[in-house]
Structure 1
Amino acid sequence: MSISFRRPGFVCTDHFLDVPLDHADPAGPSIRVYAREVVAPGKEDADLPWLLYLQGGPGNRAPRPGGPAAWLGRALRDYRVLLLDQRGTGRSTPANRQTLPADPARAAAYLRHFRADSIVRDAELLRRHLAGDRPWSVLGQSFGGFCAVTYLSIAPEGLSEVFITGGLPSLTATPDDWYRASYRRILAANERYFARYPGDQAIARRVAAHLDGADERLPGGERLTARRFQTLGLGLGHSVRFHDLHYLLEEAFLPDGRLSDTFLREVDAAVSFAAQPLYALVHEACLCDGTRSDWAAERTLAEFPGFAPRAEPFRFLGETIHPWFFEEDPALVPLRACADLLAAHDWPALYDADRLAATTVPVTAAVYHDDMYVDRDLSLETARMIPGIRTWVTSEYAHNGLSADAKVFDHLLALRRGDI
Structure 2
Amino acid sequence: MPGVTLTDHLFSVPLDHDQPEGEHTEVYAREVVAAGRERERLPWLLFLQGGPGMVPPRPVGRDSWLDRALDDYRVLLLDQRGTGRSSPITRQTLPARGEPAAQADYLAHFRADSIVRDAELIRRELTDEPWSVLGQSFGGMCAVTYLSLAPEGLREAIITGGLPGLRIAADDVYRATYSRVHRKNTAFYRRYPQDAAAVRRVAAHLIERPAALPDGSLLTVEAFQSLGLMLGAGDGADVLHYLLENTWAGAELSDGFLARAAALLSYAQLPLNPLMHELSYAQSSTGATNWAAERVRAEFPQFDARMALAGDDPVLFTGEMTYPWQFDQPCLAPLRAAAEALAAREDWPDLYDPQRLAANEVPVVAALYLDDMYVDATYSLPTAEAIRGLRLWATNEYEHDGLRTSGGRVLDHLLRMLRGQI
Coarse TM-score class (shorter-chain normalised): over 0.9
Instruction: Spell out, residue by residue over 1:337-390, the C-alpha distance to the aligned partner (whole angstroms, 9 max, x if none).
Output: 111110111211100000000110000000001000000111011001011110
Unaligned segments of structure 2, at least 5 residues: none
Give the distance between the partners of 1:148 and 1:336, measured in 2 at CA. Answer: 29
In terms of mean alpha carbon deviation, does 194-203 or 145-154 score higher? Answer: 194-203
Change (3 A) 1:189 1:67: farther
Give 1:223 shift. Answer: 2.1
Give 1:214 shift. Answer: 2.3
Aligned: 1:210 with 2:211 = no
Helix, strand or coil for the counterpart of 1:117? helix
Conserved 8 A contact 1:145-1:167? yes
Other-structure match for 1:374: 375
Give 1:329 shift. Answer: 1.3
Aligned: 1:272 with 2:266 = yes
Alignment of 1:45-194 (within 5 A): 45-66=39-60, 70-101=64-95, 102-131=98-127, 133-194=128-189
Other-structure match for 1:355: 356
Helix, strand or coil for the counterpart of 2:314? coil
Q: Runs of 4 or more off by more than 6 Å in structure 1?
A: none
Q: TM-score, normalised by structure 2?
A: 0.96
Other-structure match for 1:198: 193
Conserved 8 A contact 1:190-1:315? yes
Q: TM-score, normalised by structure 1?
A: 0.96
Give the distance between the partners of 2:167 and 2:61, measured in 1 at CA. Answer: 36
Change (3 A) 1:68 1:297: farther
Other-structure match for 2:330: 330
Aligned sequence identity (%)? 58
Letter in 2 for 1:334: P
Give the distance between the partners of 1:216 and 1:178, measured in 2 at CA. Answer: 32
Conserved 8 A contact 2:104-2:339? yes
Instruction: Spell out, residue by residue over 1:55-114, the C-alpha distance to the aligned partner (whole angstroms, 9 max, x if none).
Output: 000000111113896111100000000000000000000011110025211111110000
Give the distance between the partners of 2:21 and 2:305, measured in 1 at CA. Answer: 50
Give the distance between the partners of 1:67 and 1:392, measured in 2 at CA. Answer: 28
Change (3 A) 1:306 1:215: closer
Other-structure match for 2:315: 314
Other-structure match for 1:417: 419
Conserved 8 A contact 1:69-1:404? no
Other-structure match for 1:8: 2
Letter in 2 for 1:371: D
Alignment of 1:395-410 (within 5 A): 395-405=396-406, 406-410=408-412
Give the distance between the partners of 2:106 and 2:61, measured in 1 at CA. Answer: 32
Helix, strand or coil for the counterpart of 2:417? helix
Helix, strand or coil for the counterpart of 2:248? coil
Aligned: 1:252 with 2:253 = no
Helix, strand or coil for the counterpart of 2:46? strand
Alignment of 1:235-250 (within 5 A): 235-250=230-245
Change (3 A) 1:69 1:141: farther
Helix, strand or coil for the counterpart of 1:33? strand
Helix, strand or coil for the counterpart of 1:250? coil
Conserved 8 A contact 2:26-2:86? yes
The alignment's C-alpha RMSD in Å is 1.1
Change (3 A) 1:67 1:233: farther
Unaligned segments of structure 1, at least 5 residues: 1-6
Q: In the comparison of the two structures, how many residue pairs are matched?
A: 411
Give the distance between the partners of 2:42 and 2:3, measured in 1 at CA. Answer: 17
Instruction: Spell out, residue by residue over 1:131-181, the C-alpha distance to the aligned partner (whole angstroms, 9 max, x if none).
Output: 1x2000000000000000000000000000000000000012111111100
Letter in 2 for 1:415: M
Give the distance between the partners of 2:315 and 2:211, measured in 1 at CA. Answer: 20
Conserved 8 A contact 1:365-1:389? yes
